[in-house]
Amino acid sequence: MTLTTPTGGAEAAIAPAKRHRTGRWIDDWRPEDEKFWAETGAPIAKRNLIWSIFAEHLGFSVWLIWSVSSAFLLASGFEFTPQQLFFLVAIPNLVGSLIRVPYTLAVGKFGGRNWTMFSAAMLLVPTLGFAYAVTNPSTPYWAFCVIAATAGFGGGNFSSSMANINFFYPSRLKGAALGLNAAGGNIGVALIQFFLPIIVGGAGIFGLVKASEGGINLERAAWVYAGLAIVATVAAYFFMDNLSNAKTDTRSQLSVLKSKQTWVMSFLYIGTFGSFIGYSAAMPLLIKINFWRQPVPDVVGIGINFAFFAFLGALVGSLSRPLGGYLADRFGGARITLIAFGGMILGTLGVLWTLSLLTQLPPPPDAETLAAIKADPAAFQFPDAVVTAVDANTDVFPLFLGMFLLIFFFTGIGNGSTYKMIPAIFKTEADRIGTPGSPEREAAMLNSTKRASAAVGIIGAVGAMGGFLIPITFGSPWITDPLSATKTAFMVFTAFYVVCAAVTFLVYLRKPHPAKAHASYSGVGI
């Protein structure tokens, strides 16, 4: 599809361009023009948003496929330590954060539709690699790490998708549109954690689905998501569009690196999105290590099965993200972000309280004992000390889960509000150039959208590093006791959120000195 502005001016009807171009390109795109938006822009933007959400959703699912499958590796016959498992779920987050900047720049270079096709097709690499690794008992740990790293391709999809959709919508609707786009992706984390246990033959849906007698078959999940990646690629080809005015050179896009606001928002995004993705990756293992005991697959486990509840955190955080965008549109992104960090502080303090109520579980059996249990699983009996500790922790689990879900809720609120702040900050800068309606102001507004889209990639990249740091902190190799490592991690996170709240207030909400009022970013719009 190719649209251009005819000689009759902005008020004239939009006519097809005469020159031929390959692919679905739109040459005239003016979402801030209310007439254009109502007559032409809105349905096109909606169609692109729908399929962007679908592709990004799959990206998030593949990105976090190891978060839940890693907890099944022991049941599949692989022998890894808790530290190795936490590192395995952290690697995709590291790669996903590092490739977010080039993925964002690719939208301007190749077009949003074209890059969506490519990025969706790239999901075949981690899914097919996953299928190979889990069906080969001799797969070494380093190979698992390499394959898990390729799952980070799905993390890059977020930034390119958000940068693309940012061009399609007018400023007044960006918060809601970006919130929906992000939520559609974020909920992919919840759905992979909800459906994967069922797909592979494990128990799920709060115990309503029982484990398959045929054992765990992790490769089934890989084949399902490989097929969906092909569907996303084909759908982008037929139903999405490229925007000509979304094209910018790399140098101009990277100019946002010089903006202090880019780095301030990156720091805050570590606290919101980094927490969401990091907790999502770590939650299945946290439940398994602190509330569950099952020495070998043929022994019925006792305690809380992670597969019943692990998806709830990502689900709550995903559903609250659009709410964060909506509240930011209405009350200002900085105000809602400050509230979000306040809620996260309360949540982490609540988790620390529940952790203080837990009984430390005895360490798992050594290799010699495990071999004896595998040889005769029917004769195995859990020691009384293990049963007593697991039962005591099971009673505390509802409190632990409730406090954890409170954290997830506010990470979603913060994710939506911070993404509202990004375009608002650059729009505020553009509003200081020229006068309303002047060519200088119009050019500045277009440039502000391009700068905001570039900033989205950088901020998303830095923020996603939290998804790597959080699982690493939970699996700290210098703390041998998993419960102590968990407590220490939440102490660190609480202190970090206090700093994030202070930065939000001081930079964006504190009333400026009159002499500096012209440089202030405070106000309901931000």
What CATH number is attached to the domain comprising 142? Answer: 1.20.1250.20
Whether 311 is in a domain gets the answer yes
Return the H-helix or E-strand segment holding 347.
helix 333-356
How many structural domains are present in the chain? 1
Give the single-character DSSP code of 210.
Answer: P
Mean pLDDT within 335-351: 95
Q: DSSP E strands: which ranges in 229-325?
A: 242-243, 292-293, 302-303
Q: Which domain holds residue 498?
A: 31-294+302-363+382-510
- What values do phi and psi take at 237, rounded to 5? -60, -40
Residue 433, helix vs strand vs coil: coil
Return the H-helix or E-strand segment holding 446.
helix 439-474
Which amino acid belongs to residue 369? T
Confidence label for 178 from pLDDT (cuts 50, 70 and 90): confident
Mean pLDDT within 431-453: 68
Name the least confident of 92-96, 292-296, 309-313, 504-508. Answer: 292-296
Whether 3 is in a domain gets the answer no
Residue 447: C-alpha distances to residues 80, 155, 162, 245 (Å): 50, 26, 17, 10
Can you list the alpha helix ranges (DSSP code H) found in 99-218?
Answer: 100-110, 112-121, 124-134, 141-150, 153-168, 171-199
Whether 515 is in a domain gets the answer no
Is it the case that residue 117 has pLDDT exceeding 50?
A: yes
Whether 520 is in a domain gets the answer no
CA–CA dist 394, 399 (Å, integer): 10
Query: pTM for the full model?
Result: 0.78
Is it the case that residue 13 has pLDDT exceeding 50?
A: no
Whether 308 is in a domain gets the answer yes
- pLDDT reported for residue 513: 46
Mean pLDDT within 143-153: 93
Confidence label for 160 from pLDDT (cuts 50, 70 and 90): confident
Is it the case that residue 466 has pLDDT exceeding 80?
A: yes
Whether 458 is in a domain gets the answer yes
- What values do phi and psi take at 15, rounded to 5? -115, 155
Whether 355 is in a domain gets the answer yes
Contact between residue 265 and residue 291 where contact means Cβ atoms under 8 Å apart: no
Mean pLDDT within 426-440: 68
- What values do phi and psi take at 204, rounded to 5? -170, -175
Contact between residue 317 and residue 509 where contact means Cβ atoms under 8 Å apart: no
Mean pLDDT within 331-339: 90
- pLDDT reported for residue 150: 95
Which amino acid belongs to residue 281? A
Residue with tokens 């007044």: 172
Confidence label for 288 from pLDDT (cuts 50, 70 and 90): confident
pLDDT cut 70: percent of the chain above it: 83
Is it the case that residue 478 has pLDDT exceeding 60?
A: no
The distance between the two most distant Cα atoms of the chain, rounded to a whole number of Å, is 86
Average per-residue pLDDT in the chain?
Answer: 82
Whether 517 is in a domain gets the answer no
CA–CA dist 321, 413 (Å, integer): 5
